């Protein structure tokens, strides 16, 4: 095991997580940002061979785990800063006219330069020390080179974000962030093989040094007399034009080459608890716009399904994605369910929809999820999520976006809907598979709900109680929800709220009944 330790000497980290927007502070520091800080120290101190080999070895390692504390952010303030120096005239006029002085060279002073708005997002961690950890890697022969590089690192991120870096071996460091596969709520830039060469090309040091040397030699010969001097200047100008054309070589801003999903370490304290056929780590989408009542669930999920189908890169979409086989018939296998996430379970709850979620089958592999949902969730702009518009006439018009905030609202937290419990109560009504008649029709209906639990991989409940009103505060009565219609004959299907009591705790998401793939039958765990 080895780790790279970083201590932010000012107690805060200044770096932007959203690129040119500079609105969101980056915390913890992305591994690629730390690698670039080490590479910058190497470029600026002579490019020692041993240190270069250590960097080339480091870039071949898998993405590290990260140990970092929680943090707060500084209130964002827009600052107006002078733009970079403009070209300065070499001829200074004798008079003291301010305009001519400015044109002659005073425009280089900050008070004469135009100012542009800039943001400087800052993260203030509880503990200023961060570790990048490789639990299964031994440092070996590269210890000395990497340690020398760490001693040369002065800042990570903004030049004002001073740090002290060091190398740790055989320590006891518990990561708080670990690399994950599939769709992750937190993505970080990581380095990979070839990153140092990529940075070398972007830095472009060799060409800049060569150009500067030729240009200085040519400028030194300007105005000199003698045929040989003039011919030498002409030769140097010809070499500059041939090698570099009309523009001087510059260093380019490094471009991220690889993104990696990160998540909190998951400790399964109850591995034997039964779960449904759906993955407990639902993909949550927050909603922005006018308030939408929970009773519009069918319209919301229909609009969301349309956006999903259009954005899927595989056409026709796979069976787990669309819920239909290649021949167009309904799938009998578990497939993606679309569910609302309302504001319920609180004394002030009003039942409005705060977000939507995609519940995916457990049998899916991470590559299939990433292939079909990557374009829907992530923008082409590096590190940014993608927004989508949901619209349905007078019912709603809103925007949805992948929820990546760690400190999110309770009802947008997957654990709120999936934690293990013996008692589950419906938030949207459970659709019954048929109409029941006779004196014991409610008992028959309860038995059908018990059967529906088996359809999603759960044990049969000990007891099911049906009622027109939900036991979860804020959920509308069943009669306020429009009835689901059968696709075969267009008949309306009955529904009711339900409470299910299991003998042993079960883990969600629990979505039961005939409308479970369209948002009906969503249940929430109760404490009692």
- What pTM value is reported for the model? 0.73
Long-range contacts for 302-305 (Cβ within 8 Å, ≥24 apart)?
A: 302/392, 302/518, 303/390, 303/391, 303/392, 303/396, 304/338, 304/356, 304/390, 304/400, 305/338
Tokens of 278: 């759906």
Q: What is the pLDDT of residues 363-403, one digit of tens each?
A: 888 888 888 888 888 887 766 788 999 888 878 888 999 88
The domain ranges of the chain are: 2-77+122-201+255-263, 82-119, 205-244, 274-526
Q: Is the pLDDT of residue 153 over 90?
A: yes
Torsion angle, alpha carbons of 270, 272, 277, 279, to 10 = 30
Q: Which overall architecture, per CATH, does domain 2-77+122-201+255-263 show?
A: 2-Layer Sandwich (3.30)
Cα(141)–Cα(519) distance, integer angstroms:
57
CB contact set of 369 (below 8 Å; sequence gap of 6+): 182, 183, 360
Tokens of 149: 């590089």
- Among 147-156, 174-183, 381-390, the range with the most confident prediction by mean pLDDT is 147-156
Q: Is the pLDDT of residue 93 over 70?
A: no
Q: Is the pLDDT of residue 90 over 70?
A: no
- Among 15-29, 313-327, 367-381, 416-430, the range with the most confident prediction by mean pLDDT is 416-430
pLDDT at 417: 93
- Residue 132, classed as helix, strand or coil, is strand
Cα angle 315, 298, 300 (rounded to 5 degrees) comes to 70
What residues pair up with 353 in beta bridges, in sequence order? 342
Give the confidence band of 425 by pLDDT, cuts at 50, 70, 90.
very high
Region 193-210 average pLDDT:
86
pLDDT at 88: 45
Q: Is the pLDDT of residue 283 over 60?
A: yes
Tokens of 498: 């339900």
pLDDT at 110: 65
For residue 220, the Cα-to-chain-centroid distance in whole angstroms is 53
Q: Which is more confidently placed, 165 or 275?
A: 165
């Amino acid at each position: 095991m080895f780790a790279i330790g970083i201590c932010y000497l000012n107690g805060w980290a200044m770096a932007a997580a959203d690129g040119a927007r500079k609105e969101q502070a980056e915390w913890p520091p992305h591994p690629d940002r730390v690698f670039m800080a080490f590479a910058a120290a190497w470029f600026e101190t002579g490019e020692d061979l041993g240190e270069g080999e250590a960097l080339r070895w480091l870039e071949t390692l898998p993405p590290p785990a990260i140990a970092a504390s929680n943090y707060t952010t500084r209130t964002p303030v827009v600052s107006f800063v002078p733009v970079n120096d403009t070209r300065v005239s070499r001829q200074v006029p004798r008079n003291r006219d301010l305009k001519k002085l400015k044109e002659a060279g005073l425009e280089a002073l900050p008070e004469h330069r135009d100012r542009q708005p800039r943001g400087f997002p800052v993260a203030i961690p509880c503990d200023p020390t961060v570790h990048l950890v490789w639990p299964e890697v031994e440092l070996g022969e590269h210890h000395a080179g990497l340690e020398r590089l760490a001693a040369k690192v002065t800042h990570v991120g903004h030049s004002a974000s001073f740090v002290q870096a060091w190398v740790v071996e055989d320590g006891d460091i518990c990561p708080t962030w670990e690399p994950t596969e599939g769709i992750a709520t937190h993505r970080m830039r990581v380095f990979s093989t070839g990153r140092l060469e990529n940075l070398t090309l972007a830095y472009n040091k060799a060409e800049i040094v060569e150009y500067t040397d030729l240009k200085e030699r040519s400028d030194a010969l300007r105005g000199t007399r003698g045929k040989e001097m003039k011919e030498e200047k002409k030769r140097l100008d010809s070499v500059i034009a041939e090698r570099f054309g009309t523009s001087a070589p510059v260093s380019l801003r490094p471009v991220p080459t690889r993104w990696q999903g990160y998540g909190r370490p998951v400790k399964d304290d109850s591995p034997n608890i039964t779960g449904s056929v759906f993955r407990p780590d639902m993909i949550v989408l927050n909603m922005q716009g006018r308030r939408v009542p929970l009773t519009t669930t069918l319209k919301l999920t229909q609009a969301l399904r349309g956006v999903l189908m259009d954005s899927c890169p595989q056409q026709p979409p796979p069976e787990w994605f669309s819920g239909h086989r290649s021949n167009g018939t309904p799938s009998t296998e578990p497939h993606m369910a679309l569910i609302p996430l309302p504001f319920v379970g609180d004394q002030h709850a009003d039942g409005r929809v705060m977000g939507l979620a995609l519940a995916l089958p457990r049998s899916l592999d991470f590559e299939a999820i990433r292939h079909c949902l990557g374009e829907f969730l992530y923008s082409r702009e590096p590190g940014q999520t993608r927004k989508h518009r949901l619209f349905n006439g007078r019912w709603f018009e809103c925007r949805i976006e992948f929820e990546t905030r760690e400190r999110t609202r309770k009802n947008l937290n997957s654990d709120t809907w999936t934690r293990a419990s013996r008692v589950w109560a419906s938030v949207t009504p459970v659709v019954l598979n048929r109409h029941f008649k006779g004196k014991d029709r409610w008992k028959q209906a309860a038995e059908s709900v018990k059967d529906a639990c088996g359809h999603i991989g759960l044990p049969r409940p000990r007891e099911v109680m049906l009622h027109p009103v939900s036991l979860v505060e804020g959920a509308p009565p069943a009669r306020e929800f429009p009835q689901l219609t059968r696709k075969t004959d267009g008949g309306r299907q009955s529904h009711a709220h339900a409470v299910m009591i299991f003998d042993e705790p079960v883990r969600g998401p629990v979505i039961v009944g005939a409308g479970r793939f369209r948002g009906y039958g969503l249940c929430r765990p109760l404490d009692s």
